[in-house]
Amino acid sequence: MVTAAVLVVPTAQAAAGVLIDETFSAQTTPANFGFPAGAAVSGGVLNVTKGMGNYTTSVKAFDGAVVGERTLDLTFDWKTAVAAGGRKTGIELRDSQGNLVFALAGTATELRYGLTGPVSDSASAPDSLNPAWIRIAYNGAKWYTVNLHLDFTLQRVQYTIATKETAATVMASGTASIAGKNLAKLVACNYYGTGVQSLDNFRLTAPANAANGRLKGKTVYAFGDSIVAGHTYSRSFVNLTAERELMNLKKYAVNGAAIGPVGASGGQILTQVRNAASQSPDHVVFDGGTNDAELIHNNRYEVGTMAAGFDPATFDRSTYAGSLEITIHTMRAKWPAARIAHVTAHKLGSRDWNTQLAIRSVTLRICAKWGVTVADVFGDSTLDTRNDGQRVAYTFNGLANGYPGTGGTGTHPNIAGMNFYVPVLTAALTAP
């Protein structure tokens, strides 16, 4: 039986501090979430644009602690009651100068979102000050969940809009440049007609490991299996990280690849490294172990043990451990100036647990020996697809609506699942 998913943010984010976490289960302080008009907390949600006229607005100002943050993560649920043609309501996030950060709106037939548009003081919302809308057909009866990563150092926003359900459908996802320089206000807009909007589960956090522009322009080579490659989708967690930080990414990962010596449908990750460009990147990122866990469990080869020294002649390349050491040795020899990070897979419901633990143990020892930074998704995030709700919510097999779907085997993270990986990798790439 499928259990309900518990939607949680990565541990790395939660450690930094929650600035706002409002479920609207009771009246807020200040009242009605700080909206001076057209808003009311009722039935466990915040209703806005209630009784407001055409082209009118109501503005919630964020406090100085929020305005001063350079990097923020925001998630909220949204729904509109607009049901008739010609009517449109929405919300806008703007900075202290009126520049747009992000906007969302609904008509009877279209979900609209905006990333660019005119500067506005938010005193009103005439057509001339509307954001430049991107339009999607949608079901206006549903709730939608918005996830935003806001970087005001780089003036970038990474966004995902999805239906609010365990087997969610992604409506839009991407990364874009914005004019906004901080998060100063949330504007409820009654663009035209009537239609109450509802907000719920408004959570704003400051990430623990914000890069603050330090990775801009850096090059990264990425090696590994389908978790790095993206499976049947072109954007993996490495892409999401590079997009956020304006890094130059070259992916060599192949579906089905493994660290170990034999049997992987995608070959050895070592082969990817040997075939990669000789020009040194700033960073090397690689995973492995997921396909190895299956091959080892099926007795194709053994986990093995770490060699005593650094001489490649002593590595037992018939084992996972020896293959991992020669892979790292090859990276070090080919790109001595590059920083290397190994990404551990999340806790997998699709692989034998004891095999996962055995691979993890020797991997951590070998990475420590070679001075390889570990982006430890297994240990530092709560993504665990042994939980059936998490498997359904956070992994995919194929695409739906052009984006990774849900209900996967537990192996391949969809966009929501990738968001457990991204902060852990960012922390590894910016580690001293």
Q: What residues contact residue 368 under an 8 Å CB cut-off, 6+ apart? A: none
Query: What confidence score (pLDDT) does residue 60 get?
Result: 98
Whole-number Å distance between alpha carbons of 106 and 140: 7
Which tokens sit at 171? 């409506």
Residues of the chain with confidence (pLDDT) below 50: 1-15
Task: Specify whether the CB–CB gap between 409 and 394 falls below 8 A.
Answer: no
Which tokens sit at 249? 């990414």
Residue 360, H or E segment: helix 353-370
Question: DSSP of 304-353, one letter per residue?
Answer: ----SSS-GGG--TTBHHHHHHHHHHHHHHH-TTSEEEEEEPPBPTTS-H
Q: What ranges do the domains of the chain cover? A: 18-205, 219-430
Task: Specify whether the CB–CB gap between 329 and 312 falls below 8 A.
Answer: yes
Task: Specify whether the CB–CB gap between 330 and 274 falls below 8 A.
Answer: yes
Query: What confidence score (pLDDT) does residue 7 get?
Result: 41
Which tokens sit at 40? 């009311």
Whole-number Å distance between alpha carbons of 126 and 57: 10
Residue 156, H or E segment: strand 156-163
Whole-number Å distance between alpha carbons of 128 and 154: 27
Whole-number Å distance between alpha carbons of 163 and 41: 22
**Number of residues written out for the chain:** 432
The C-alpha R_g of the chain, in whole angstroms, comes to: 23
Task: Specify whether the CB–CB gap between 381 and 362 falls below 8 A.
Answer: no
Whole-number Å distance between alpha carbons of 403 and 236: 11
Query: What confidence score (pLDDT) does residue 16 get?
Result: 65
Nearest to 156 by CA among 241, 76, 60: 241
User: What are the Cα distances from residue 125, in Å, to 53, 88, 188, 229?
Assistant: 11, 11, 9, 43
Sign of the torsion angle spanned by Cα atoms 21, 27, 30, 34: positive
User: Under CATH, which number does the domain 18-205 receive?
Assistant: 2.60.120.200
Query: What confidence score (pLDDT) does residue 2 get?
Result: 31
Query: What confidence score (pLDDT) does residue 5 get?
Result: 38
Query: What confidence score (pLDDT) does residue 86 get?
Result: 86
Which tokens sit at 13? 């984010």
Query: What confidence score (pLDDT) does residue 85 get?
Result: 82
Is the previous residue joined to 30 through a cis bond, with omega within 30 degrees of 0? yes
Query: What confidence score (pLDDT) does residue 12 get?
Result: 34
pLDDT in tens, 344-380: 999 999 999 999 999 999 999 999 999 999 999 999 9
User: Under CATH, which number does the domain 219-430 receive?
Assistant: 3.40.50.1110
